[in-house]
């Protein structure tokens, strides 16, 4: 049984560009959450998707947006990239209210 | 609002010694508490969780944690450290309500194990 998968593994962008990160949840999971982990920090909650709707959102600007597809996979989009957006982006999946399981992350570098 | 404080950004122990990583939480309602471990260049792996059942929770790799409501603590322990335990450890709290189940993480504790 495959765990949570994320793509790409690494990504390099320049300031002002836009980026899309992808996440496939564990089999049987219907909820996807996204987190940003800056270097040397704990993960910070960006938002959570359930039934293709954004159910909960953390303290992130509107430049961060997402989507969940009917097969429960999800995308995280970041527009107008800033240097401060450089981080490890983690996706976690769960069965609605249950425990969240994390993917390996996507390392985004903004130059 | 919920929050987590991990005391000690870096803990060093010798192989075979007791591991104690400290976590205090703040929550206005009964919390769910978690410990995750992160190895270099990897995602987070769940060690254990507390969801209002037994206050002493056993996890993987010999780790356990005790929920103490009076002290608002959820410290992680392991009786005997192994070299493979060297990693970053994160304590997290969540509250399950209609809004969702966001995890609020502490800043993490780096565990070093020397031979």
Q: With an 8 Å Cβ cutoff, are B107 and A35 in contact?
A: no
CB distance from B89 to chain A under 8 Å?
no
Q: Mind telling me how many Å the CA of A99 is from chain B's nearest CA?
A: 8
Over the stretch B46-58, which tens digit does the pLDDT of each residue have? 999 998 778 899 9
Percent of chain B beyond pLDDT 70? 96
Which residues in B48-65 are b (16+ Cβ under 10 Å) and which e? bbbbeeeeebebeeebbb
Chains A, B: CB contacts under 8 A, how many? 57
At A10 the pLDDT is 96
Q: How far apart are CA A67 and CA A49, in angstroms?
A: 8
Contact B94, B27 (CB under 8 A): no
Which one has a higher pLDDT value, B64 or A98? B64
Q: Do A100 and B101 touch (CB under 8 A)?
A: yes
- B54 or B92, which is more confident: B92
Q: How far is A46 from chain B (nearest CA, A)?
A: 9
Q: Determine how β-strand B10-14 pairs with β-strand B109-114.
A: parallel
How far is the alpha carbon of B34 from chain A, nearest alpha carbon, in Å? 9
pLDDT tens digits for range B19-43: 999 999 998 777 899 999 999 888 9
């Amino acid at each position: 049984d495959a765990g949570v998968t994320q793509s790409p593994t690494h990504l390099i962008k320049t300031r002002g560009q836009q980026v899309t990160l992808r996440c496939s949840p564990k089999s049987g999971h219907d909820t996807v959450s996204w987190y940003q982990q800056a270097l040397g920090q704990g993960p910070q909650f960006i938002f959570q998707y359930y039934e293709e709707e954004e159910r909960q959102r953390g303290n992130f600007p509107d430049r961060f947006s997402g989507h969940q597809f009917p097969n429960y996979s999800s995308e995280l989009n970041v527009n107008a990239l800033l240097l401060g957006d450089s981080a490890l982006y983690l996706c976690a999946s769960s069965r609605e209210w249950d425990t969240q399981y994390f993917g390996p992350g996507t390392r985004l570098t903004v130059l | 609002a919920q929050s987590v404080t991990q005391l000690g950004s870096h803990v060093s122990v010798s192989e075979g010694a007791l591991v104690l990583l400290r976590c205090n939480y703040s929550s206005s309602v009964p919390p769910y508490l978690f410990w995750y471990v992160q190895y270099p260049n990897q995602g987070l792996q769940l060690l254990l969780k507390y969801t209002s059942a037994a206050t002493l929770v056993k996890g993987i790799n010999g780790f356990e944690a005790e929920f103490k409501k009076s002290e608002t603590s959820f410290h992680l322990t392991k009786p005997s450290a192994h070299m493979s335990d060297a990693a970053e450890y994160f304590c997290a709290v969540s509250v399950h309500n209609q809004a969702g189940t966001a995890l609020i993480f502490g800043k993490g504790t780096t565990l070093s194990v020397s031979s």
